[in-house]
Structure 1
Amino acid sequence: MDIEKALEIVRHKLPKKRFEHSVRVAETAVKLAEMFNGDKYNCELAGILHDYCKYDELSEMYQIVIREKLDPALLGFNKELLHGPVAAIKMRDDYGIKNDEILLAISNHTSGRDHMTLNEKIIYVADYIEPERDQKNVDDIRKIVYEDKHLDLAVYEITKATIKHLLKSDKTIYPRTIECLNYYNMVKE
């Protein structure tokens, strides 16, 4: 799929604000790909498409999880976690994207995982630090990425912040996210 086609399908599906976020994630991902020697095209495409299913019906998402035999633990979570894995399936099935680098980056941008590929890490981080994000620690993460040039440390700090937020909100934490935290805690040095 070319970039213009991706922009077109996302523009027609997502609300204007979410579409604009997706464009900023793609732009940030390209910048990170240049910094860390990632694949600029794969990162741009994954950035545009990452939130494609953000507003889909939860029941439809559950059906896809079951049909595709995805991790059954996903059935205990909501759209915030499910939209990534479901978007990857839809991109593969509905739009013919077969590139695993793109599909993994879309799938895991919501949860992270241990041993992420470079492009997965880029999308995971770009989604968190795109220019309009203003969460509490985002400037610290931007410094880690842009000044210290430390992608694994950024993944760790983002995952840690996410888990802290989920604990504070008394929400269940997806096991893969905990595995991501533990793994990047070990490799962040």
Structure 2
Amino acid sequence: MFNLRIIVLCVLIASFFLGGCTSTPPKHLSNACSIFDEKDDWYKDAKKASKRWGIPIATNLAIMHQESKFVSKAKPPRTKFLWIFPGPRKSSAYGYSQAKDETWDWYKRESGHGGADRDDFDDAIDFIAWYNHITVKRNKVKPTDTYNLYLAYHEGHGGFSRGTYKKKAWLMGVAKKVDRLARSYSAQLNKCEDRLDSSWWWPF
């Protein structure tokens, strides 16, 4: 029994370090069950964030999909100087959640995650859930209203309150797409979440 525990511990440690070296996006981005089957540590992180902040897993996951397509080090495209030369990026947005520097600093101060990194899925999914939680409290949006949660995520809480999105037909179209994806993710998770919940096995 002791030897089995040592072997399992070694495998888990090796998996942790090897997993940290790879940050490729999941292969099937439109299927929540496939995402969590491939990235088997992500489900635990997503569920923990959902329970902590009261926002459905499907909503947080759909917003991350829209923002970065699950690319850990995603950045906005560079602007062009004289139509040829690469210029500065449009914003400081970075990582899975595409959070800007100042917003991420706010999250670290307010959430208690002082060492959080934007290219860490665990931290990024917690950030998205936290930001949505603030929207629910500040802007009186329902936790299941992915459409308006995404608009507030994109425009900021103040911009959402002022209705800045109303002049951006393209953004409202994107928000509808995020809402549809969240509904699809939710339906998929209804079929596999019990299995995902029961898949965690710890021998010690």
Would you call these one fold, judging by a TM-score over 0.5? no
More helix by share: 1
The TM-score, its normalising length taken from structure 2, stands at: 0.27
Higher Cα radius of gyration: 2
